[in-house]
Structure 1
């Protein structure tokens, strides 16, 4: 074989290898691309606000999340948003894999932790009041947001304008300690059993102070949302409602308009109990989802963190008073685990 022939053969071999490599690369790339095509991403929200209000405010999330995931290489055809009929319904949807992503509180995550993984913890504006002493919340002035972000909050036990609610507030504000009889004789409005602020942490507080839980209270009703609970509190149907610390800020306007109360929520309600600090809500994912992968989890985390920094994104997550997100740690929710153990032990 001549030198020129050898050179030509060598060139041909190089070209063949290059062509083979090119088609191999494009085939692999095509396969990777198809793996990042998602037909339907299913997101569940808990009904801590009025369900129709949640649906309306979160509608733009479909386009915003699709756009952010596109930056991570994912082509999402549809984002399906649902509001669970209860906190447990959202937890069950994640647990079974019929939901891929859930906006759920820590208590709901812990209840379903075997099949649910927390991705992010929400951050909110901190409050200018953060006292463990209930009376210090009751200066008649509005609780205001600060510029500092916080990943924790408290559950407050709000006494309403009913005769009983006012009597309990009077004792607290005069420096007296409430007795178990004081609390047990009142009408309580409780949230879902996996609600951190509306059920779980109140149980932990009762256990710490009275060796009781909410299950021991003789006069309780379940409120399907904080909005309906506030309406009942305003009308005197219930005397006490445990709720998240900035709930009165959220319902200050409705108090005098929708609920038609003569005075402001700050004048007519008082704090009679304060829980320990609670880590904020989570954005969690289903371990049983056929759609979810470790790569998609990373992409979702980045997408939600970035989305929360935009003007449009902030409007969407404001439904839960979220202002940003940070990576979640399972250990942050050990308080939830301790509280749920108290509840389980009380049922034995």
Structure 2
């Protein structure tokens, strides 16, 4: 082959490579653009507060999240927000892929970890009361938030104004340890079986202190939300309800208005038991979602972390007392896994 022919052949090859590279780039770019257009992003919340209250307070999340994801190159056409009828319903929605993102407790995440992946852990303001001694929660003064952020909390067992609730509180405040007979004589209001504060850790507490489990309790009812549970506690329909550590703060106003109690929640309720510390709620995503990709997961994580730093975002996540988010590892919730193993063994 002559020198000119070789030169011509080299030029042809370069041109062909350039053309292929160009069309390959534009095709990949088109695919990327298409992948970053999200028709519908579905978010599920657990009903730890009144469902209508959650829907109202989280409504601005649609615009806020869309705006944050836009910064990451994603064009989200619609954000659909739903409140599950139970904690399990939210977990099942993630497992089936009918939900893309879920605001769920650690216990629910672990229960449905085959179909859910944890992205973020919520941080909350710490509390000025964090003792494992229930008597120290019962000074009649409000539980106050501190400036220090915390990724953990406790379950407290709140005794209401019923005759039995007051009887148990009197013993605790006198420095007496409650007997199993005391515990078993009360009517308990319990959350769903995947609720960390409302079921799992109370069950561990019963096992640790009395070698008993929830199934051994003579009288229990299931409350579908902490709001409805507090209403039952106020009216005396139940004597004791386990809840997250700052639950009384959240329902202090409703106690005397909606529930029409004559005195404040701090005067009419007492803590009779306190769990070990629990890792905070999660933002998890569905492993079965057709929408979620590793790239979108990173974008969602960044969006929620940034969103929580804005005034508008803080108002939205305040529904769960969240104040911020930090990246989570699955291993953060090994304590929940251990807890659920104990529960399974107790139920055998």
Q: Which piece of structure 1 moves more, 334-343 or 153-162?
A: 334-343
2:209 aligned residue? 209
The separation in 2 between residues aligned to 1:265 and 1:100, in whole angstroms, is: 38
| CA distance in structure 1 between the partners assigned to 2:270 and 2:339 by the alignment | 25
Determine if the alignment matches structure 1 residue 184 to structure 2 residue 172.
no
For structure 1, which runs of at least 5 residues remain unmatched after alignment?
A: none
Q: How far 1:27 moved relative to its partner?
A: 2.4
Q: Give 1:136-215 correspondences, 5 Å limit.
A: 136-215=136-215
**What is the RMSD of the two structures over their aligned residues, measured on CA atoms?**
2.0
1:106-146: per-residue Cα shift (whole Å, max 9, x none)?
Answer: 01011111111110000000001110100011111100001
Residue 14 to residue 337, structure 1, CA distance change in 2 (3 Å): closer
Relative distance call for 1:112 and 1:10 in structure 2 (3 A) is closer
After superposition, give the CA deviation of every residue in 1:59-104 in whole Å (9 maximum; x if it has no partner). Answer: 1111111111111111111111111000000011111111111000
CA 1:111–1:8 in structure 2 vs 1: closer, same or farther (change >3 Å)?
closer
Structure 1 residue 343 displacement after superposition:
1.7
Following superposition, the deviation at residue 214 of structure 1 comes to: 1.4
Partner of 1:88 in structure 2?
88
SS at match of 2:102: strand
Counting only pairs closer than 5 Å after superposition, residues 10-89 of structure 1 correspond to structure 2 as: 21-89=21-89
CA–CA separation in structure 2 for the residues paired with 1:108 and 1:15: 57
Distance 2:286 2:17 in 1: 44
CA distance in 2, matches of 1:244, 1:14: 67
Cα distance in 1 for partners of 2:306, 2:133 equals 37
1:289 corresponding residue in structure 2? 289
User: Any stretches of 5+ residues in structure 2 without a counterpart?
Assistant: none
Q: Which residue of 2 aligns with 1:112?
A: 112
Residues 157-209 of structure 1: CA deviation (Å, up to 9, x unaligned)? 00011111111011001110000010101010000110000000000000000
Structure 2 counterpart of 1:232 = 232
Deviation of residue 340 (structure 1)? 1.4
SS class of match (1:158): strand
Deviates more, 1:285-294 or 1:236-245: 285-294
Say which SS state the counterpart of residue 33 (structure 2) adopts: helix
Q: CA deviation at 1:314?
A: 0.7
Give the number of equivalent residue pairs. Answer: 348
For 2:341, the equivalent position in structure 1 comes to 341
In 2, distance between residues paired with 1:32 and 1:97?
22
- Cα offset, 1:18, TM superposition: 5.2
Counterparts of 1:19 and 1:92, CA distance in 2: 49
Distance in 1 (alpha carbons) for counterparts of 2:20 and 2:330: 47
Q: Does 2:317 align with 1:300? A: no
Query: What is the CA distance between 1:24 and its match in structure 2?
Result: 3.4
